[in-house]
Amino acid sequence: LAEGEAPPRPPVVHYHMNNVTTTSDPVGNRESILILTPLARFYNEYWDNLCKLSYPHDLISLGFIIPKGREGNAATQQLQERIAITQAPTNKNRFASITILRQDEEPVVLQDEKERHALSAQKERRAAMSRARNALLFTTLGPTTSWVLWLDSDVVETPPGLIQDLASHDKPLVVPNCMQRYFNKDKDVMDIRPYDFNSWIDSPTARALGDKMKPDEILLEGYAEMATYRTLMAYLADASGDTHREIALDGVGGTALLVKADVHRDGAMFPAFPFYHLIETEGFAKMAQRLGWHATGLPNYFVYHFNE
């Protein structure tokens, strides 16, 4: 076979699922990983970090789902420009494969700040995100995928060892702490602050709120009128603490999230409907839990979200 040429697809393929391992040594065991990104806006730093991942790139496949419309078109073009260089046949470090899905739907656009923060708008937006994540997941997960890394396109700073670091915990779901760099005016220095509030430990208050809700209502973090008293991983961050510290989580965010592919294969997906009053990534954690898979958070292992 010539360089870059794949063997002809055999008409019958037979997979033994026990050969698809997910271990704490995924490089040693040559485990395939699928990195999935819902993509509305493209960030060069995101792509730079993908290219710098120290995990063997021939074991990495990438999948994107991009909405219809102007913003989606721009993101597609920027993505393709970077792909053209990274996937050049002459680049020994290129990825195993890349799948781009263009949706038939425009993104849920929320006009102003007020509307964007209304509960009903959040519900609609996160339901649309759920559908996008599911479409991406259901169509790209293959029989030989060991791991799925969910990574948002606006996560602009991640360590090159991200995959190995997260996988070394050997957990079904593992979530780093997603922070944000900002200029701290009081201290007159660059500083970091919590960003993703979807990774949390449940509280009796939140459960009681859920019990009193109508079937279709959802719990959301960050609304004063709905104080949940959950323990938010974002607030447990300790920049000088052990980066391997683990905590058990009940809800997870999707900015960066490593999942054993078997969790998805068992049926865990991103509910677009209220599931135990939770949707999207938080509902996913709950669904995984119902399937016997528990989430782990790494409060002191940081990735960083873009700051506009």
Q: Return residues touching ligand GDP (CB under 6 A).
A: 37-41, 65-67, 103, 107-108, 128, 132, 152-154
Residue 20: φ, ψ to 5°: -90, 90
From 91-99, 111-119, 155-163, 185-193, span contacting a second copy (CB under 8 A): 91-99
Specify whether the CB–CB gap between 266 and 119 falls below 8 A.
Answer: no
Q: Rule CB under 8 A: which of 3-62 touch a second copy?
A: 4-6, 8-9, 11-18
Token pair of 93, please? 């470090």
Token pair of 305, please? 């979200």
DSSP string, 109-122: ---SHHHHHSHHHH
Taking the least distance from each CB to a second copy, the nearer of 87 and 203 is 87
User: Beta strands of 18-172 (E only): which ranges?
Assistant: 32-38, 60-66, 97-102, 145-151, 155-157
- What's the CA angle centered on 91, arms 87 and 95, to 5 degrees? 45
Contact call for residue 280 and Mn ion (CB under 5 A): no
* Residue 222 interface partner, choices ligand GDP, Mn ion, a second copy, none, CB cut-off 5-8 Å depending on type: none
Taking the least distance from each CB to a second copy, the nearer of 94 and 305 is 94
Report the alpha-carbon distance of residue 242 to residue 236 in Å, rounded. Answer: 12
Contact call for residue 235 and a second copy (CB under 8 A): no
From 30-38, 147-155, 166-174, 192-200, span contacting Mn ion (CB under 5 A): 147-155
Residues at the interface with a second copy (CB under 8 A): 1, 4-6, 8-9, 11-18, 83, 87, 89, 94-95, 97-104, 130-131, 134-135, 137-143, 145, 262, 264-267, 269-273, 290-291
